């Protein structure tokens, strides 16, 4: 903030006034108007994510970017779990989701409909996440388990893998954080496609 002093009083000039909740909500979609929003042509498959809180966070990020759908697979918790609902803050109502035991049939179906299948995983041939282009859409982004990553069965179905470069001592980021980074870059690429 900039401050100026005048005759013993402090005048505060507001350079970046924080918006009120009402002001933020004015331009947001509602469940009734979501049909008018251009969806990001992305389906995400969660491959045995163990943390309900990570799943809820992924739902919330998915709502913010307005993806097509989430496929929950393996032992990934579903929105019936209170911890998922707590972290999702209502996003389970605005994003279509389905449960699949292993996700393979859903991936094969998406592949047959022209979706590129992309894993967010460190592989021998993975590219930096920011190297994707508008030609990558529509796509299915596969997100793996917090410890073991994307299963090899699903990796075998992928057209490519992307990763987030790491510069510290850790090998990876939290799965929900990594998803958010990749997802919002996908939204940027899609929005700038013309």
Give the confidence band of 2 by pLDDT, cuts at 50, 70, 90: very low
Q: Tens digit of pLDDT for each residue in 73-104?
A: 999 999 988 888 888 887 788 899 999 998 99
- Token duo for residue 4: 């100026």
Are 108 and 157 within 8 A, CB to CB? yes
Alpha-carbon distance 124 to 122, whole Å?
A: 7
Q: What is the pLDDT of residues 169-189, one digit of tens each?
A: 888 899 999 999 999 999 999
Q: 130-165: b or e for each residue (b if 16 or more CB lie within 10 Å)? A: eebeeebbbbbbbbbbeeebbbeebbebbebbbbbe
CA geometry: angle 182, 46, 42, nearest 5 deg: 50
- Token pair of 92 as six digits: 């389970």
- Residue 97 CA to residue 101 CA, distance in Å, equals 13
For range 131-150, the mean pLDDT: 95
Q: Enumerate domains of the chain plus CATH numbers.
A: 37-191 (3.40.1280.10)
Q: What is the pTM of this model?
A: 0.87
Confidence of residue 25 (pLDDT cuts 50, 70, 90): confident
- State the maximum Cα–Cα separation within the chain, in Å, rounded to a whole number: 74
**Does residue 42 have a pLDDT over 90?**
yes
* pLDDT given for residue 1 in this prediction: 42
Q: How far apart are CA 123 and CA 165, in angstroms?
A: 12
């Amino acid at each position: 903030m900039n401050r100026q002093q005048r005759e013993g009083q402090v005048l505060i000039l507001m350079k970046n006034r924080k918006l009120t909740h009402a002001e933020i909500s004015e331009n947001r979609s509602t469940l009734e108007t979501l049909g008018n929003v251009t969806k990001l042509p992305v389906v995400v498959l969660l491959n045995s994510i163990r943390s309900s809180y990570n799943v809820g966070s992924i739902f919330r990020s998915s709502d913010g970017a307005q993806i097509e759908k989430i496929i929950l697979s393996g032992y990934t918790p579903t929105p019936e779990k209170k911890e998922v609902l707590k972290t999702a803050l209502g996003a389970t109502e605005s994003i279509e989701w389905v449960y699949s035991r292993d996700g393979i049939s859903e991936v094969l179906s998406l592949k047959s409909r022209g979706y590129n299948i992309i894993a967010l995983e460190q592989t021998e041939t993975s590219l930096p996440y920011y190297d994707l282009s508008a030609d990558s859409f529509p796509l299915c982004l596969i997100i793996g388990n917090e410890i073991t990553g994307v299963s090899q069965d699903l990796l075998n179905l992928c057209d490519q893998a992307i990763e987030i470069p790491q510069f510290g001592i850790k090998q990876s980021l939290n799965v929900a954080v990594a998803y958010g980074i990749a997802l919002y870059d996908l939204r940027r690429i899609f929005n700038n496609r013309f």
